Amino acid sequence: MESATRPAKVGAAGLAVAALGVVFGDIGTSPLYSLQTVFSIDDGAVQATADDVFGVISLMFWAITIVVSIKYVTILMRADNGGEGGVMALAALAQRLYAAKAGKAGLLLVIGIVGVSLFYGDSLITPAISVRSAVEGLQVALPALGHLVVPIAAVILTGLFAFQRFGTARVGRLFGPIMVLWFIVIAVAGVPMIVQHPNVLLGLSPTYAVTFIVAHPFVAFVAMGAVVLVITGAEALYADMGHFGRPPIRRAWFFLVFPSLVLNYLGQAALILQNPDARSNPFFLLFPDWARLPMVILATAATVIASQAVISGAFSLTRQAVQLGLLPPLTVRHTSEHEGGQVYLPAVNTLLFVGVMTVMLVFRSSAALATAYGVSVTGALVVDTLLLLLVAPRLWGWGWWKIGITALVFGGLELTFLSANLSKILHGGWVPLIVALAVIVVMTTWRRGRQLVILGRLKKEGSLPDFVKDVRARKIQRVPGVAIFLHPNRDSTPLALRANVERNNVMHKRVIVVTVVIENVPHIDPKEAFEYHDLGYSDDDIDHLKIRFGFSDTPNIPRALRRACTLDVLDLRPKQLETASYFVSRGAIRTTRAPGMVAWRKSLFAALAQNAANPAARFALPASRTVTMGSDIDI
């Protein structure tokens, strides 16, 4: 997920507060609907009896403790990829660790794609369920306005997505303090009920979870599908590690977020024990009458923050997927001059908005949305655990006994969560699965299609060394100026360069073929970003330059070329770069009956390629000095 870049001189407390505004929005708003959903499944399968309430609270507490506190905060946050976290970074790290094993590296890429795809399903449901559950507080605070829940939620979500184009820099400064207030308020709200019913603290014992499962195995299994809602957003703690660092996130979790969540859940449980009818909405009924409307407002603000974090995460993840060649190039707009992580992707924003509004209108309540939520959440948890099990032996030297215990504890619990949620597929769980499947198809199709395009281009382009040798023999006329040709490799000839020579019998005095490579690390040290080749001749001014970017870097080629000159990799003067011409080869994709991919996937790839962003915009090339030349490619 993207957020403000970590300032160099911000104190520990300041970073912890900043992390609260971005990292914990999703998991922090789970009390709005989690316990309510547990007691509403299967028309009240879980009863408001002491045994059931204690059992559910025990399951929730230990789910948060094991999955969030131990797995993510204590263990997984140590598995960073150049300081970055998240499923994409973890998959890239695993690929690097197993780079020598081509088959396993390919499997790791597939696992990463599945994890990313499940995140998109989560991105559709999180804003819908969070905002709607907050606004549903009106049904408790002002029952006469209950019929306005959907229109109000729709207006809030529309405003949220419309605001994305302006960036989140200014609003982001408010996120942390608002979330601090949120966690303090929900903690304080739970304390009075705990004081009145201190026996609810017994629910923290794992024995009640075990007793509940043994006494009611089927009910407990079904309840697990809703209990998982307490750990929604757990991956955000890991994904935003690169922006805030491990210590601030850990401090914010253990000193404020975790205690606040536990106190609020215990308070809701005590309320249900005192008044079983409070199961309908235990969160808002936890507050006195005078405080319910203000809480609706605060809850709405908190859920907007949670939604913002997910939307920003979708932008960030999409950009990383584009950099790694898993999605077609998309238009990326930077919304801050100082913070490179704040980006806006119009296409992703539009698709998310349409998807969020659709699921909110189709599902009649937050409880109904919750049935669709768990599948994507639990699937993502399982993917992270699988990658952890693959990374740990090579990264930390874990033995088989550690791997076995980790698989049993984390994998066993999360697979149980996943199994319980698979039973909901016919009741809404199909939504994130369909979204994930669509993303998987798009990513694998784009990756395979690019491979076919490269093969097709190689046939037309011919060898670059042979081309250079032929140019020297023919003594082609050279005209003043610098020409920079973007090309994916240094083995074949850029089509634009070949066309210029063959049709016009002329070539610029200085020719540089530039290849951009996106590595499986977040950032590249500028001193290691360039690889220069003179293509066999040092006197013809025809050179090749490979520029390496990390998947979290912005691939700005003019800026990279200036840096290459500063580092004496290129012997060009700044003025020459200011007047240089850029040439981009871009041709239409024609589908054929040739083997390599089935017909419908070829058509899909052609459509994706046609709507992909112009490479000139993607690489920040100056429009007035960029020439696009094309040749149709058959696949």
CA 611 to chain centroid: 22
pLDDT number for residue 242 = 67
Please answer whether residues 345 and 318 qualify as being in contact, where contact means their C-beta atoms are separated by less than 8 angstroms: yes
Model pLDDT, residue 64? 95
330 to 345, 365, 535, 628: CA distances (angstroms): 7, 34, 32, 17
**What whole-number distance in Å separates Cα of residue 336 and Cα of residue 210?**
51
Total Cβ atoms within 10 A of residue 554: 18
Which three-class secondary structure state does DSSP give residue 29?
coil
Question: What phi-psi label fits residue 310: left (phi over 0), alpha (psi between -120 and 50 degrees) or beta?
Answer: alpha
Backbone angles phi, psi at 390, to 5 degrees: -80, -30
Helix (H, G, I), strand (E, B) or coil at 79: coil
Alpha helices in 145-257 (DSSP H): 149-163, 169-196, 206-215, 217-227, 234-239, 241-244, 246-252
Give me the residues paired with residue 344 across strands: 333
Q: Which residue has the tokens 């106190």?
A: 263
Backbone angles phi, psi at 20, to 5 degrees: -60, -35
Instruction: Look at residue 441 and give its three-state secondary structure.
Output: helix
DSSP letter for each residue of 472-514: HHHT-EEEEEEEEEE-S-SSB--HHHHHHHHHH-EEEEEEEEE
Residue at token pair 């690889």: 531
Where are the CATH 1.20.1740.10 domain residues in the chain?
15-446
Cβ atoms 480, 512 nearer than 8 A: no
Query: Any idea what the Cα angle at residue 529 is, between residues 526 and 531, rounded to 5°?
Result: 135
Residue 470 · residue 435 · CB < 8 Å: no
Residue 576: which of 588, 590, 586, 561 has the closest Cα?
561
CATH architecture of 15-446: Up-down Bundle (1.20)
- What is the spatial distance between Cα 558 and Cα 264, in angstroms, rounded to a whole number? 53
* β-sheet bridge partners, residue 584: 486, 628
What is the CB-side half-sphere exposure of residue 420 using CA atoms within 13 A? 27
CA dihedral for 16, 174, 377, 300, sign (positive or negative): positive
Integer-rounded Cα radius of gyration of the chain:
27
pTM (two decimals):
0.78
- CA 214/CA 208 separation, integer angstroms: 10
C-beta neighbour count of 568 within 10 angstroms: 7
Report the pLDDT value the prediction gives residue 123, as an integer from 0 to 100.
81
How far apart (Å, rounded) are the C-alpha atoms in residues 218 and 229? 19
- Please report the pLDDT score of residue 450 as a whole number: 85
* Residue that has been written with the tokens 């024990």 in this structure: 273
**pLDDT the model gives residue 552:** 72
Model pLDDT, residue 404: 93
- Rounded to 5°, the CA angle 108-114-120 comes to 140
| Cβ partners under 8 Å of residue 628, min gap 6 | 583, 584, 585, 586, 614, 616
Residue corresponding to tokens 């959907």: 150
Q: Are strands 343-344 and 333-334 parallel, antiparallel or unpaired?
A: antiparallel
The pLDDT assigned to 608 comes to 87
Cα(274)–Cα(175) distance, integer angstroms: 35
Q: Would you put residue 568 in left (φ > 0), alpha (ψ -120 to 50) or beta?
A: left
**In degrees rounded to 5, what are phi and psi of residue 330?**
-120, 155
Ramachandran class of 634: left when φ > 0, alpha when ψ lies in -120 to 50, beta otherwise: beta
pLDDT of residue 364: 66
DSSP β-ladder status, 542-550 and 530-533: antiparallel
DSSP strand E in 18-129: where? none
Half-sphere exposure of 441 (CA within 13 A, CB side): 14
Apex CA 189: angle with CA 184 and CA 193, to 5°?
A: 140
d(CA 405, CA 389): 10
**What pLDDT is stored for residue 170 in this prediction?**
53
Residues with Cβ within 8 Å of 218's Cβ and at least 6 positions away in sequence, in order, are none
The pLDDT averaged over each successive group of 10 residues in the chain (635 residues) is 40 69 84 88 80 93 95 89 77 78 71 84 82 83 81 89 70 75 95 94 93 90 88 79 78 93 96 91 91 90 82 79 82 58 78 88 71 78 91 90 93 90 76 86 90 78 85 83 89 84 85 87 85 85 90 85 90 86 81 85 88 80 83 73
Q: Which residues contact 50 (CB under 8 A, 6 or more apart)?
A: 199, 273
pLDDT at 406: 92
